[in-house]
Amino acid sequence: MPVLSPLAPVPTVACEPTPLPAVVGADLGVPSRSGTVRYGNLDHAASTPALAAVKQAVDTALGSYASVHRGAGWASRLTSAWYEQARDEVARFVGARTCDEVVFTRTTTDSWNLLARVLPADAVVLAFESEHHSTLLPWGPDRTVRLPVPSSIDDALARLDQALATRPAPARLVVLSAASNVTGEVWPVERFAAVAHAHGARLAVDAAQLAAHRPIDLGRWDADYLAFSGHKVYAPFGAGVLVGRQDWLDAGSPYLVGGGATRSVTQFATSWQTGPARHEGGSPNVVGAIALAAACATISGHWDAIVRHEARLLEQLRSGLRSVPGVRLLSIRDGDEDGVGVVAFTVAGLDPALVSQVLSWEHGLGVRDGKFCAHLLVDRLLDERPSATAVRASIGLGTTPEAVDRLVVGLRRLVEHGPLDRWAHDGTAWVLADGDGRDGHAVARPW
């Protein structure tokens, strides 16, 4: 009997532009000062909305939902098949090689902690201080070499080359974010892989901020490991993936000790599985894996439309922000605008936390403020002022041109006239001095 799949095929029409894939909640109404308005989603760098195709795949999978592997019943056999098909779909999405393992995890952070667990004991890890905390911190301070925030691609490559030449070790790993979650700037992964391999080191690529915006090709890049999360690629929370070379993964201790990771257990000894099962102990998040695979399949069939859509929005966002007096866009590489749809900025004389609250209350916009889990980078971009933060606007399939216009108009109004209401800082956050109607906004629980 053929095995059905919840991963619906992506339709294509010859000689016609591919439409953008639909997202769930595109017409979400949110409370604001002027009443309910359509949500302006400019927070995709934190998490993306789910695709309608992902929801359909999950709904299908739940109809025969069962625990995977070792079950003789039809529901378990079917769900197990879908789980392994999801692994194959993710491998295609990232351009994995036939020898690469695909391990399902919870998040990108979880993936890097898994890799840190299996590194050889004498391994040294090199990372730029521009990295997200999830790629900077899991390895441990004693074996992590931090390289300064680079000023350009050539500067980064030269610093990495010098560091590898002067810090020999039996095993070395370079970790690199393919795209910055603060500035959106994209790094040429294949060039960093070449430098790392010239010194006998390996390269691990954090693709969390790239995967939803540009195609990934692990094989062409010649990188050794790669990780990203479902919630960054229009799938729900709870599923991530680590893809890469087998030897360290199969030699290291299991990340999750328990059922599924074991080959045999006796009174005297335990032997462990090899391959992905070694690190997927317990009952895996099969629905999360199916959701992630559905997102990968859908995105893969719409790359041209996605890239065009985001290029237009990013140009609109950058030019609009630059037109507002006092707005400063942050960048690592001055003058180099090769990036995905993530823009961090400051507004002269205004606390970024207040800016984000005003944009939400007065205009129904979702942006983010803070240091975005990249404290060293933000401190560097803001002239080493530890107390300084920024605002971040990030675009994706849930962003409309109208939302970008609303952001620019809202910022200009704020700069020229100030907030429409009185705000006070309670020591933790900015709050409306006369009370926030949203605090009592009645929303039924989803269950």
Block residue for tokens 């040294």: 124
Structural domain includes residue 15: no
Say if residue 349 is in the same domain as residue 405: yes
Structure tokens belonging to residue 426: 């309670």
Question: Along the 447 residues of the chain, how does pLDDT read in single tens digits?
Answer: 444 556 545 444 445 667 899 999 999 999 999 999 999 999 999 999 999 999 999 999 999 999 999 889 999 999 999 999 999 999 999 999 999 999 999 999 999 999 999 999 999 999 999 999 999 999 999 999 999 999 999 999 999 999 999 999 999 999 999 999 999 999 999 999 999 999 999 999 999 999 999 999 999 999 999 999 999 999 998 899 999 999 999 999 999 999 999 999 999 999 999 999 999 999 999 999 999 999 999 999 999 999 999 999 999 999 999 999 999 999 999 888 899 999 999 999 999 999 999 999 999 999 999 999 999 999 999 987 878 999 999 999 999 999 999 999 999 999 999 999 999 999 999 999 998 877 666 678 888
62 and 38, same structural domain? no
3-state secondary structure of 331: coil
DSSP state of 18: P
Burial of 250 (0-12, 13-18, 19+ CB in 10 A): middle
Domain boundary among 252, 270, 300: 300
Question: Cβ–Cβ contacts within 10 Å for residue 96, how many?
Answer: 22
Residue 361 lies in a domain: yes
Residue type, 408: V
| pLDDT value for 7 | 55
Are the CB atoms for 128 and 134 separated by under 8 Å?
no
pLDDT score recorded for residue 6: 60
- Indicate whether 211 and 283 sit together in one domain: yes
Could you please report the per-residue DSSP string of 199-236? Answer: TT-EEEEE-TTTTTTS---HHHHT-SEEEEEGGGTTS-
- 332 in the same domain as 208: no
Cα–Cα dist 221/47, whole Å: 26
Domain-located, residue 333: yes
Query: Quick one: 203 and 321 in the same domain?
Result: no
Q: Give a yes or no: residue 17 inside a domain.
A: no
Domain that holds residue 108: 55-300
User: Domain for residue 251, yes or no?
Assistant: yes
Residues 6+ positions from 65 with CB-CB distance below 8 Å: 75, 79, 286, 287
End residue of a domain, out of 242, 273, 300: 300
pLDDT at 336: 81
CATH number at residue 167: 3.40.640.10
- pLDDT for 207 equals 98
Q: Which of 274, 300, 326 finishes a domain?
A: 300
Q: How far apart are CA 58 and CA 161, in angstroms?
A: 45
pLDDT, residue 164, reads: 98
Same domain (yes/no): 276, 308: no
Considering the domain boundaries, does residue 446 fall inside one? no
Question: Are residues 281 and 190 part of one domain?
Answer: yes
CB 7, CB 290: distance < 8 Å: yes
- In the set 15, 99, 296, 373, the catalytic residue is 373
Beta bridge partners of 29: 38
Identify whether residues 261 and 340 lie together within a single domain.
no
Is 373 one of the annotated active-site residues of the chain?
yes
180 and 87 share one domain: yes
Q: What CA–CA distances, in Å, run from 162 to 7, 28, 60?
A: 46, 51, 52
Domain of 331, CATH number, reads 3.90.1150.10
Residue 8 domain flag = no
Q: Within this chain, do residues 276 and 334 fall inside the same structural domain, yes or no?
A: no
Q: Is residue 447 part of a domain?
A: no
Residues 281, 349, single domain; the answer is no
Residue 281 and residue 366 share a domain: no
Q: How many domains does the chain have?
A: 2
Q: What does the alpha-carbon distance between residue 334 and residue 175 come to, in Å, rounded to a whole number? A: 23
Q: Decide if 196 contacts 160 (C-beta within 8 A).
A: yes
